[in-house]
Amino acid sequence: MYRIVSSIFLAENIKKLEIEAPRIAKKRKAGQFIMLRVTSHGERVPLTIAGSDPEKGTITLIVQGMGKSTRELNMLEAGKSIADIVGPLGTPSHIENFGTAVSIGGGVGTAIAYPTAVALKEAGNHVITINGARSKDLVILENEMKEVSDEAYITTDDGSYGFHGFVTQKLQELIDSGRKIDYVLAIGPIPMMKAIAEVTRPYGIKTVVSLNPIMVDGTGMCGGCRVTVKDEIKFACVDGPEFDAHEVDFTNLADRNRIYLSEEKESAEGTSHRCHLHMDK
Amino acid sequence: MDAQHITNKERLAIPRQPMPAQDPEVRNKNFREVNLGYTPELARQEALRCIQCKDPICIQGCPVNIKIDEFIKLVAEGDFLGAARKVKEDNVLPAVCGRVCPQEDQCEKACVIGKKHAPVAIGNLERFVADWEREHGEPDLPAIKAATGKKVAVIGSGPAGLSCANDLIRQGHRVVVFEALHELGGVLMYGVPEFRLPKEIVKTEIEGLKKMGVEFQTDVVVGRSVTIDELIEEEGFDAVFIGVGAGLPWFMGIPGENLVGVLAANEFLTRVNLMKAYDFPAGSDTPVFDCRGKNVAVFGGGNTAMDAVRTAKRLGAEHAYIVYRRSEAEMPARVEEIHHAKEEGIEFLLLMNPLEFLGNDRHWLTGVKCIKMELGEPDESGRRRPVPVEGSEFILPLDMAVISIGNGSNPLIKQTTPDIEVSKRDTIIVDINTMATSKENVYAGGDIVTGGATVILAMGAGRTAAKAIHDKLMGTAVNHNEW
């Protein structure tokens, strides 16, 4: 069992959890993830490690309640435990001094982009962060991003805060202004990552995305997370999750992520039903 | 009949006792165990068939050298607990091995009676005594020698690692087993289905090891959570045994393999066995492809393919096919499993090779284009090579396809411990007498050395390594023939 040390909401439905996992805290590098099982009958869910404190032996996860398991996780307060956490998994981000590096996070993807932005800064890059959200109340990690960035931008789809528009538009604006950009990291929903890849492709800017396929074991034994990269099959859990954005087949990824949509809905409805019962008591 | 006063002629006159089983039309709709096990009467009757030969070559046929003649004699005498303990002297997982070993290629193949009659049902008897002990026995732990102060890390809790841990703990070493998944047992938990090997039985046999003092750490991926070098240098292990198996699924590399609805047998079986997706959503949060009323094909002819196709049938598939490019005679699956599959209504499409998976505009699988094959000359493996019949292409409509053409080695250990020598196929190279790798104090055994093989061969390798590790740690004379 893995004990939750702290548990706070960053925005509606987005929670930051600090959990005891000493082995992982000691080993993890930017870009890596864990697989987690909330309860003994729970499914295994992949979540990126947002940070760690090796001395305290804790890791930080930032979780958006999307389906049954993430909602269950988000209901847990400090002091509670979760059944299993395994990691760190995946190949760490390739970090070097690229020059000017842009780290783009869309929605809860900001939490995944954050540790890599930290590592890029430590490697001596001029770091620009673009943090996108649907509206002002969904903006997360604003201060953290500012701290690690030489330039930090926030975009909101509805214009309620920062730049009015999508992260792609902000990136295009930077490119159009003649900024020399050597590296782009983009993490968020599949359509966003795909759109970023198309923005940078004509300029030949090296662009990396962190993919989010369905995973079961997370250690390379099932192939559930396979993605097509440069017409080859790759296992995102072992070979990734980061890949060259210009080589990824995003359509295939989006298709494959839809396989259990109806089951996920069924399962999540079960959760809300149970919560409702609980409230009635 | 009295076990003491029975002639060999009378023994040979007894027919091999069949294993009672659930009716095929009932069992193909549930996940309960197919084989129901011997009754005490059936077990004693079967045990009387053993002629107690002077040179029991059946023992050499068993990769862990169970004292087969002795345990069967005890069964015939009605001392079932004594028989179970006799088996456990050499085999830590008898209830598992009695169920999943290919006895027809091992102990029972060597049985002298088998030359003229049906061989003694050694596997069924092993299973019976192990089940009897679990259901009737008091906890009886084997003697553990005085602590040596030495510490061994076992990586992987599958059959090889468990067998190695068992022999090492008895010698008085401290043993810590590291497992990447959240459950112990390796392929016994995620691969072999509940209807062939109930998971509670695996858990109980592993529980025995815990009682003997073996420590288990789940959720640790060696290579990621900790490296082999760190185990030796920072955590103070004197030796390491690698038993991580062959768990990297192979795909066929044909067009359409990434369509929605095409998955590896490992994924399908892990969802159903380890994650209990057959109980979704009531008892498990893990979903699996909804097979009800659908056409499902499993590509391959091994035991994993049989497990997958029988699982699909139980999940409600209308048609559950085996598609195999050779004929039934070349199938690597156990004869018993093929037989069970046929009884359950599995349809065998033999001498057929898939060329391409076909999908709809949403990229969901709709079918597979196959070509018929005929058998040509034998290939390197000695099996006749299948050759396509020109112009025989056809389309088989499908909703789900499961690929079961074998597994390779996970690259994690190789990537993170480069001083362990591996073959071109990424299997670890060892000295077959000691299972020692090219790295000092690091040993390996099971599928990570041989590629996909059997539970019992992995257990035999675990024993060989345990002997060599013990000799090395204690500085005792090395004579590998006396274990």
Closest residue in chain B to residue A38, using alpha carbons only: B285
pLDDT reading at A279 higher than 50: no
Let me know if residue B141 belongs to a domain.
no
User: Between chains, do A88 and B261 touch, taking CB under 8 Å as contact?
Assistant: no
B22 pLDDT higher than 70: yes
Compute the nearest-CA separation of A185 from chain B (Å).
Answer: 23
Residues B175 and B257 in one domain: no
B127 in the same domain as B83: yes
What pLDDT does A277 receive?
A: 37
> B410 pLDDT band (50/70/90 cuts)?
confident
- A169: contact with B, CB 8 A cutoff: no
Which residues of chain A lie closer than 8 angstroms to B257, CB-CB?
Answer: 233
C-alpha distance from A188 to closest chain B C-alpha (Å): 22
Instruction: Note down the domain range covering B449.
Output: 151-247+410-474
Residues 202-231 of A with CB under 8 A from B: 216-217, 219-224, 226, 228
pLDDT score of B139: 65
Same domain, A114 and A81: no
Question: By CA distance, what is B287's nearest residue in A?
Answer: A263
B122 found inside a domain: yes
List the domain range (segments joined by +) for residue A29: 2-89
Q: What is the pLDDT of residues B433-449, one digit of tens each?
A: 999 999 999 999 999 99
Nearest CA in chain B to A69: B285
Number of domains in chain B: 3
pTM higher than 0.80: yes
Domain final residue pick, B109, B136, B163: B136
B142 part of a folded domain: no
Q: Which residue of A has its CA nearest to B275?
A: A43
Minimal-distance CA residue of chain B relative to A259: B260
Of the three residues A60, A89, A118, the one that is the final residue of a domain is A89
Q: How many CA atoms lie within 13 A of A127 on its CB side?
A: 27
- Could you tell me how many CB contacts below 8 A there are between chain A and chain B? 121
Of B221, B226, B260, the CB nearest to A219: B221
Range B343-363 average pLDDT: 96
CA proximity to A260, closest of A84, A67, A75: A67
Residues A134, A199 share a domain: yes
- Do residues A64 and A116 share a domain? no
Structure tokens at A53: 């404190």
Per-residue confidence (pLDDT) for residue B1, from 0 to 100: 59
Give bridge partners of residue A244 from the DSSP assignment.
A208
Banded model confidence at residue B423, pLDDT cuts 50, 70, 90: very high
Same domain, A182 and A139: yes
* Contact (Cβ atoms closer than 8 angstroms) between residue B393 and residue B369: yes
CA B475, B478, B482: angle at the middle one, nearest 5? 125
End-to-end CA distance of chain A: 28
* Orientation of helix B455-474 relative to helix B159-170, angle to 10°: 30
Q: Which residues does chain A have within 8 Å of residue B218's beta carbon, measured at their own beta carbons?
A: 84
In percent, how much of chain A has pLDDT > 70? 96
Asked whether residue A161 falls in the same domain as residue A28, the answer is: no
Contact status, residue B225 vs residue A88, Cβ threshold 8 Å: yes
**Is A53 within the bounds of a domain?**
yes
Contact B109, B61 (CB under 8 A): yes
The CA distance from A120 to the nearest CA of chain B, in Å, is 22
- Can you read off the two tokens belonging to residue A54? 């090796």
If asked whether residues A57 and A114 sit together in one domain, one would say: no
Q: According to the model, what pLDDT value does residue A276 have?
A: 37
Q: What is the mean pLDDT of residues A46-67?
A: 93
Quick check: helix, strand or coil at residue B152? strand
Contact call for A259 and B261, based on CB within 8 A: yes
Name the domain boundary from A32, A64, A89: A89
* Mean pLDDT, residues A234-253 taken together: 95
Q: Which residues of B touch A213 (CB under 8 A)?
A: none
| Residue B480 included in any domain | no
Scored b (16 or more CB within 10 A) or e, B192-216 reads bbbbbbbbebbeebbebbeebbbeb
DSSP letter (8 states) at residue B48: T
Pairing type for strands B151-155 and B239-242 reads parallel
**Measured distance CA(B433)–CA(B441) in Å, rounded:** 15
Residue where one domain finishes, among candidates B136, B166, B201: B136
Complex prediction ipTM: 0.90
What does the pLDDT look like over B300-318, one tens digit per residue?
A: 999 999 999 999 999 999 9
pLDDT over 70 (residue B417): yes
Q: How far is A163 from chain B (nearest CA, A)?
A: 35
Does the beta-carbon distance from A219 to B261 stay under 8 Å? no
**Closest Cβ opposite residue B266 in set A41, A221, A263:** A221
> Amino acid identity of B372?
K
Q: What's the rounded mean pLDDT across residues B230-235?
A: 96
In this prediction, residue A217 carries a pLDDT of 94
pLDDT over threshold 80, residue B204: yes
Contact: A223, B225; criterion CB under 8 Å? no
Q: Do B429 and B392 belong to one domain?
A: no
Residue B361 burial (C-beta neighbours within 10 Å; 0-12, 13-18, 19+): exposed
CB contact under 8 A, A228 and B263: no
B82 vs B90: CA distance, rounded Å: 14
Strands A183-187, A100-106: parallel, antiparallel or unpaired by DSSP?
parallel
Looking at the structure, do residues A167 and A239 belong to the same domain, yes or no?
A: yes
Copy the structure tokens of residue B79.
Answer: 């001392």
- Average pLDDT for residues B252-276, to the nearest whole number? 95
Q: Is A276 within a domain?
A: no
Compare CB distances from A216 to B220, B270, B276 and report the shortest one's residue: B270
Percent above pLDDT 90 for chain B = 84
How distant is the Cα of B232 from the closest Cα of chain A, in angstroms?
16
A27 has a chain B CB within 8 A of its CB: yes
The answer to whether residues B284 and B347 belong to one domain is: yes
Which positions in chain B touch A220 (Cβ < 8 Å)?
A: 247-248, 410-412
Same structural domain, B102 and B20: yes
Q: Residue A274: its pLDDT value, please?
A: 42
Instruction: Measure A224 CA to nearest chain B CA, in Å.
Output: 6
Residues B269 and B369 in one domain: yes
Residue B229 and residue B128 share a domain: no
B145 CB-contact burial (10 Å; exposed 0-12 / middle 13-18 / buried 19+) = exposed
Give the B-side interface with A, CB within 8 Å: 180-182, 190, 218-221, 224-226, 247-249, 251, 253, 257-261, 263-264, 266-267, 270-271, 275-276, 280-281, 283-287, 289-290, 362-364, 410-412
Q: Are residues B125 and B257 in the same domain?
A: no
On the question of pLDDT at B480 being above 90, the answer is no
For residue range A198-215, what is the model confidence (pLDDT) as tens digits? Answer: 999 999 999 999 999 999
Looking at the structure, tell me whether residues A38 and A133 fall in a common domain.
no
Using CA coordinates, name the residue in chain A closest to B416: A91
Using the beta-carbon criterion (under 8 Å), do A216 and B275 form an inter-chain contact?
A: yes
- The residue with greater pLDDT, A184 or B475, is A184
Same domain, B339 and B468: no
Please report residues of A whose CB lies closer than 8 A to that of B276. 41
Q: How many CB atoms are located within 10 Å of the residue A68 CB?
A: 24
The answer to whether the Cα torsion of B164, B168, B170, B173 is positive or negative is negative
What CATH number corresponds to the domain at position B457?
3.50.50.60
List Cα–Cα distances, A238 to A50, A91, B226, in angstroms: 19, 6, 16
pLDDT band at B57 (very low <50, low <70, confident <90, very high): very high
Q: Which helix (H) or strand (E) holds B478?
A: none
Where is B396: in which H helix or E strand? strand B394-397
Do B268 and B361 share a structural domain? Answer: yes
Report CB contact under 8 Å: B248, A221. Answer: yes
Within a domain: B239: yes
For residue A281, name the pLDDT band (cuts at 50, 70, 90): very low
Residue B482 resides in a domain: no
Q: What is the pLDDT of residue A270?
A: 63
Picking from A89, A123, A142, the residue at the C-terminal end of a domain is: A89
Q: CB–CB of A86 and B258 under 8 A?
A: no
The verdict on A1 touching B (C-beta cutoff 8 Å) is no
pLDDT, average across residues B41-67? 94
Query: Is there a contact between A154 and A161 (Cβ–Cβ < 8 Å)?
Result: yes
- Do A71 and A151 share a structural domain? no
Annotation: binding site of A? 62-64, 222, 225, 237
Same domain, A71 and A104: no
State the pLDDT confidence band at A253, using cuts at 50, 70 and 90.
Answer: very high
Clarify whether residues A135 and A63 are in a common domain. no
Specify the pLDDT at position A80.
94
Residues of A in contact with B362 (CB under 8 A): 255
Search chain A and give the residue with CA nearest B284: A41
Q: Chain A: residue nearest B359 by CA? A: A255
- B146 inside domain: no
Task: Looking at the structure, tell me whether residues B280 and B341 fall in a common domain.
Answer: yes
* Smallest Cα distance from B163 to chain A, Å: 22
Cβ atoms of residues B428 and B437 within 8 Å: yes
Confidence at residue A278, expressed as pLDDT on a 0 to 100 scale = 36
**HSE toward the beta carbon, residue B411, CA cutoff 13 A:** 10
In tens, the pLDDT along B140-187 reads 778 899 999 999 999 999 999 999 999 999 999 999 999 999 999 999
Same domain, A70 and A125: no
In the block, tokens 């005891």 appear at A20
Among A121-130, A258-267, B127-136, the range scoring the smallest mean pLDDT is A258-267
What is the rounded average pLDDT for all residues in chain B?
93
Residue B263: its chain A contacts at CB < 8 A? 223-224
| DSSP symbols for chain A | -EEEEEEEEEETTEEEEEEE-HHHHHH--TT-EEEEESSTTPPPEEEEEEEEETTTTEEEEEEE--SHHHHHHHTPPTT-EESEEEEEESPPP-----SEEEEEEETTHHHHHHHHHHHHHHTT-EEEEEEEESSGGG---HHHHHHH-SEEEEEETTSSSSEES-HHHHHHHHHHTT----EEEEESSHHHHHHHHHHHGGGT-EEEEE-----SSSSSSS-TTEEEETTEEEEHHHH-SEEEGGGB-HHHHHHHTTTTHHHHHHHHHHHHHHHHHHHH-
**Confidence category of residue A280, pLDDT binned at 50, 70, 90:** very low
Q: Which residues in B lie closer than 8 A to residue A259 (C-beta atoms)? A: 260-261, 289
> Average pLDDT for residues B245-263, to the nearest whole number?
94
pLDDT the model gives residue B376:
87
**B294 with B429, same domain?**
no
Instruction: Report residue B2's pLDDT band, with 50, 70 and 90 as the boundaries.
Output: low
Residue B96 is assigned to a structural domain of this protein: yes
> Is A252 an 8 Å CB contact of chain B?
yes
Asked if residue A88 has a cis previous peptide bond (ω within 30° of 0), the answer is: yes
Per-residue pLDDT tens digits for B340-350: 999 999 999 99
Model confidence over B59-68: pLDDT tens digits? 999 999 999 9
Give the total number of structural domains in chain A: 2
CATH number at residue A114: 3.40.50.80
- Please report whether residue A94 resides in a domain: no
d(Cα B428, Cα B436) in Å, to the nearest integer? 10
Q: Is the pLDDT of residue B481 over 70?
A: no
Kindly report the CATH number assigned to the domain that includes residue A26: 2.40.30.10
Domain boundary (B78, B113, B136) is at: B136
Residue from B97, B79, B101, B63 nearest B205 by CA? B97
Report the 10 Å Cβ neighbour count for A34.
Answer: 27
Best A217, A233, A261, A271 member to test B by mutation, with max B CBs in 10 Å, is A217
Which amino acid, one-letter code, is at B394?
F
Contact B182 A68 (CB under 8 A): no
CB contact under 8 A, B287 and A264: yes
